[in-house]
């Protein structure tokens, strides 16, 4: 039975009444500070399969989100009606995603020559049917994929558009259909989210709290910087519990290196298919701020000039660091379950790739740096997840001593022997990850002002001018600087001269534009599709030729302009 929009909420309540309503999530929660619940039966038997909301597919979404009109509406007779600009969403999300967003190509690249070569080396006949690949290269739940007899997913699924179109709507917003059984009802968000808001606004979908939307309807919170970042890095870094693990053997077989993640840079380069809240009409903003139950946008919390992108960058940095350490903890903890075959510890991909894989030169800047754990040659964790996190924590008033305290045990556990003490490392990484997440959620609640933005710019430049940073850490700083500079509209002393020094770095020092790819044509389900693929001939020369001394010198010159 399909609910109509006008009666959806009433019918959902009526149908739910005879049975218990399950308020859990179908996967790991991506919320701010809450987790999905579990039923009493599941608490007694954690191995019992969790009920999951239904994945309805992108066709349902396209019914509305493919109707964007630009310019004036031409009425019968030729008269024109200007479009109202207070719309909450664009209603043309699908064409933006389909034509410009690489998430829509995520499955198709599993059919290219590089992926086929990887399959041969890994002993996998068809990587586009391997759950380990599909966990990130589609947005379709692994639990809903029909298995084949060869240990891969069934070949019929290749023809399913909800799989071969990669990461589509519900991959990020959550499965939206109801789940119903004799004993359990899981309400989805598809029907309630289609009802236009009207008084009493507090009961309307738009104004519900993210907690309620997620816990009761399974709608992922992608407005909160913390929640959004956690969702993104579940693929862009990994999540063992979700089966999203890029292993060292995958990299060795040819998987392109995963670039360091900065949430604002990545979302802007997607490009975005939404209207930023600060860009919505005054009427829509004021109505939302007046009635929303979202604590980040309540009247006393929201400031339009509060540098929301800068705040998102800072929060994202801390949450990214948290999720990286959570992944390290999961990989080292053999008790953590995964829907795919998990690698044994040590998983080399959890450590700094370029500490081993780099050009052999003498003298080398790597010899100038203090070795991780004070022991030369000892495998080290990635540096880049902490480059911006440290700056974010400093800006939030967290002292250097308070920052170092949660990591003392982690450093000891990781560096006391090659690849660390497995159990001690897992525990220490888990505790440090939890501490970082708590701090990220605190930072999320604090609006910034122009003075904060300028102070953070100076912190970024000071860090880059005095520290010997690796390639990915340096790129984090430049991305972050660009985010703040754009939000400040370059309205600070010396901005033009800073640009003259900073902009060339995107050509001669760091690959800042992630959309510099080679185009390819892939046949998917009998249809030819154009994809943009990572070109290692572009990516790797930047990494191998990077020199921290030159970076420090450039940032030092910028710092002199900002004094």
User: What is the arithmetic mean of pLDDT over 506-510?
Assistant: 91
Q: pTM for the whole thing?
A: 0.90
pLDDT (tens digit per residue) in 376-391: 888 899 999 999 999 9
Q: How far apart are CA 88 and CA 300, in angstroms?
A: 21
pLDDT at 11: 29
Backbone angles phi, psi at 469, to 5 degrees: -95, 145
Contact of 337 with 241, CB cutoff 8 Å: yes
Average pLDDT across the chain, whole number:
88
Among 21-30, 315-324, 440-449, the minimum mean pLDDT is found in 21-30
Q: How many CA atoms lie within 13 A of 129 on its CB side?
A: 18
pLDDT at 474: 98
Strand partners for 518 = 533
pLDDT (tens digit per residue) in 330-350: 999 999 999 999 999 999 999
DSSP 225-276: HHHHHHHHHHHHT-BGGGTB---HHHHHHTPPPPPPP-HHHHHHHS---S--
pLDDT at 83: 60
- The listed range with the strongest mean pLDDT (22-26, 371-375, 389-393, 531-535) is 389-393
Among 34-43, 123-132, 344-353, the minimum mean pLDDT is found in 34-43
pLDDT (tens digit per residue) in 293-320: 999 998 888 888 899 999 999 999 999 9
Angle ∠(400,404,410) on CA atoms, nearest 5: 170
pLDDT above 80 for 532 = yes
pLDDT (tens digit per residue) in 90-117: 888 999 999 899 999 999 999 999 999 9
Q: How far apart are CA 213 and CA 438, in angstroms?
A: 22
pLDDT at 422: 96
pLDDT at 257: 96
pLDDT (tens digit per residue) in 231-274: 999 999 999 999 999 999 999 999 999 999 999 999 999 999 99
pLDDT at 2: 40
Q: How far apart are CA 548 and CA 473, in angstroms?
A: 10
**Beta strands at 184-186 and 20-21: parallel, antiparallel or unpaired:** parallel
Q: How far apart are CA 410 and CA 428, in angstroms?
A: 5
Six token digits for residue 201? 């606004």
Strand partners for 184 = 20
pLDDT at 538: 94
Going by the DSSP 8-state scheme, the letter that residue 376 receives in this structure is T
pLDDT at 69: 67
Among 78-87, 100-109, 514-523, the minimum mean pLDDT is found in 78-87
Helix H or strand E segment including 392: helix 384-395
pLDDT (tens digit per residue) in 132-143: 999 999 999 999
**Beta strands at 527-533 and 518-524: parallel, antiparallel or unpaired:** antiparallel
Contacts of 1 (CB under 8 A, 6+ apart): none
**Beta strands at 80-81 and 179-180: parallel, antiparallel or unpaired:** unpaired
Six token digits for residue 559? 């710092």
Six token digits for residue 132? 């380990």
Each domain of the chain, given as residue ranges in start order, spans 222-446
Judged by DSSP in three states, 178 sits in: coil
pLDDT at 86: 57
pLDDT at 75: 63
The CA R_g of the chain, rounded to the nearest whole Å, is 24
Among 83-92, 268-277, 330-339, 459-468, the minimum mean pLDDT is found in 83-92
User: What is the arithmetic mean of pLDDT over 531-557?
Assistant: 95
Judged by DSSP in three states, 35 sits in: coil
Q: How far apart are CA 184 and CA 163, in angstroms?
A: 27
pLDDT band at 202 (very low <50, low <70, confident <90, very high): confident
């Amino acid at each position: 039975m399909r609910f109509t929009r006008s009666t959806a909420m009433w019918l959902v309540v009526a149908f739910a009444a005879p049975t218990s309503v399950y308020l859990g999530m179908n996967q790991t929660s991506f919320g701010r500070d809450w987790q999905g619940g579990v039923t009493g039966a599941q608490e007694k038997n954690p191995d019992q399969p969790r009920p999951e909301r239904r994945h309805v597919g992108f066709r349902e979404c396209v019914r509305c989100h493919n109707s964007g009109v630009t310019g004036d509406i031409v009425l019968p007779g030729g008269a024109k009606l200007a479009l109202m600009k207070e719309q909450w969403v664009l209603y043309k999300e699908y064409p933006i995603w389909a034509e410009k967003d690489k998430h829509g190509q995520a499955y198709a690249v599993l059919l290219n020559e590089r992926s086929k070569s990887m399959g041969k080396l890994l002993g996998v006949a068809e990587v586009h049917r391997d759950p380990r690949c599909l966990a990130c290269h589609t947005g379709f739940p692994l639990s809903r994929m029909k298995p084949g007899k060869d240990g891969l997913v069934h070949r019929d699924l290749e023809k399913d558009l909800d799989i071969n179109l990669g990461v589509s709507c519900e991959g990020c917003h959550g499965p939206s259909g109801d789940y119903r059984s004799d004993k359990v009802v899981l309400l989805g968000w598809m029907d309630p989210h289609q009802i236009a808001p009207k008084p009493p606004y507090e009961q309307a979908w738009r104004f519900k709290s993210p907690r309620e939307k997620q816990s009761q309807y399974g709608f992922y919170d992608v407005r909160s910087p913390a929640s959004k970042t956690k969702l993104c890095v579940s693929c862009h870094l990994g999540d063992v519990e979700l089966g999203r693990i890029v292993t060292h053997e995958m990299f060795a077989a040819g998987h392109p290196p995963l670039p360091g993640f900065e949430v604002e840079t990545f979302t802007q380069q997607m490009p975005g298919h939404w209207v930023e809240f600060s860009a919505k009409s005054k009427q829509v903003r004021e109505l939302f701020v007046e009635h929303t139950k979202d604590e980040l946008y309540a009247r006393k919390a929201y400031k339009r000039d509060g540098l929301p992108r800068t705040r998102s960058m800072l929060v994202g940095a801390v949450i990214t660091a948290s999720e990286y350490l959570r992944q390290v903890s999961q990989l080292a903890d053999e008790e953590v379950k995964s829907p795919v075959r998990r690698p044994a510890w040590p998983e080399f991909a959890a450590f700094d790739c370029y500490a081993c894989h780099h050009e052999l030169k003498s003298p080398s800047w790597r010899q100038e740096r203090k070795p991780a754990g004070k022991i030369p040659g000892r495998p080290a964790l990635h540096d880049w997840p902490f480059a911006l996190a440290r700056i974010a924590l400093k800006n939030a008033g967290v002292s250097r001593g308070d920052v170092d305290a949660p990591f003392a045990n982690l450093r000891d556990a990781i560096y006391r022997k090659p690849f660390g003490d497995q159990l001690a490392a897992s525990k220490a990484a888990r505790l440090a990850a939890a501490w970082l997440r708590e701090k990220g959620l605190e930072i999320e609640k604090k609006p910034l002002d122009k003075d904060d933005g300028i102070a953070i710019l100076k912190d970024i430049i000071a860090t880059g001018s005095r520290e010997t940073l690796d390639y990915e850490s340096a790129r984090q700083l430049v991305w972050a600087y660009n985010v703040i500079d754009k939000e400040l509209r370059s309205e600070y002393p010396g901005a033009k001269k800073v640009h003259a020094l900073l902009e060339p770095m995107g050509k001669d020092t760091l690959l800042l534009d992630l959309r510099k790819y080679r185009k390819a044509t892939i046949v998917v389900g009998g249809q030819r599709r154009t994809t943009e693929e990572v070109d290692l001939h572009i990516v790797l020369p930047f990494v191998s030729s990077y020199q921290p001394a030159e970076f420090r010198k450039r940032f030092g010159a910028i710092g002199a302009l900002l004094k």
